[in-house]
Structure 1
C-alpha cells in the first residue's frame, strides 16, 4: 500500500488539531486572519510549526535568506508568538512588531482570543505592507 502524501494545508490542519483546545481555537483564528490577508499567502509546516509564506513569483535569491517567509508560529510551552523573519523591513508605526533583532526578524506575542481579535487589522496591515516590499 502506498501512503498518500498530505497537502501542506492538511499538514497544518493536523498540526493545529493536536494542540490543546484553548490554544487550538486561537491558532485557527490567526490562521484564518493570515490566509485571508492576500490570495498569495500560502501555508505549510516549517520548523515544526505553522508557517505562512509568499507563493508568487520572485527574483532568484539565496534560500538561506528566507525572503518568502512572512510568519512562523512559535508555540513553545503554549506561548502564541508570531515570528516575522524579515519584519524589520516593514515600516510599522503601530508598535505591533516588537524586538530589535540583528537578523531583521520581529515578533508579536498574543495573550488570548480577545487580543487576537483586537489586533486583527494590525496583523493584516503588516502582511499587506510586507507583500508590497516583495522583490518580484
Structure 2
C-alpha cells in the first residue's frame, strides 16, 4: 500500500492554487490530491502555468487547464521519444493518444476524478515507469 503523501507547499504551486481565476478549481484540487496519493515518489511543480507532476525531477504529467473539461497530459518529459508498444494496459480506454509520446486523461468534474480513480491510477503508475 502506498503511503498518503502530504500536499506540497512549494511557493509556485501554492500561488497557482490560490489564484482566484484558476479554472476548474474543484477538479484541479481533487485530481492533484489523487495523483499525489498514487505514489509517494510523485512530486509537483508548476510547468506551462499549470500543476505538473514528476518522479525524481522527470516530469510525466501536466494539467491542461483550458477547455470545458480538465485534461491531464501524460508525457515523457522534455525530449520527444516514443512510448514502447504496447506499453500501457488501459482496459477501460481512458487514454486519448495524441502521439507516440503523449496521451490525455479528461475529467468533467471532481466527482469524475474520484469515480474513475481506481481505473486511472494504475494507468498513471504504468506511465511513470517510462519516464
TM bracket, shorter-chain basis: 0.7 to 0.9
1:90 CA drift (Å):
2.1
- SS of 1:76's equivalent in the other structure is coil
Q: Is 1:128 the equivalent of 2:95?
A: no
Q: How many residues align?
A: 116
Cα deviation 1:2-54 (Å, max 9, x = unaligned)? xxxxx872311221221557721221111110011111111000111110011
Separation in 2, partners of 1:10, 1:40: 19
Separation in 2, partners of 1:8, 1:69: 18
The equivalent of 2:96 in structure 1 is 98
Is contact 1:83–1:108 with CA below 8 Å preserved after alignment? yes
Q: 1:46 to 1:22 in 2, by over 3 A?
A: closer
Structure 2 residues without counterparts, runs of 5 or longer = 1-7, 77-81
What RMSD in Å do the two structures reach over aligned CA positions? 2.6
Q: TM-score by structure 2 length?
A: 0.74
Q: Identify the structure with the greater strand proportion.
A: 2
The equivalent of 1:75 in structure 2 is 65
Higher alpha-carbon Rg: 1
Cα deviation 1:61-91 (Å, max 9, x = unaligned)? xxxxxxx222100002464111001495422
Is contact 1:70–1:127 with CA below 8 Å preserved after alignment? no
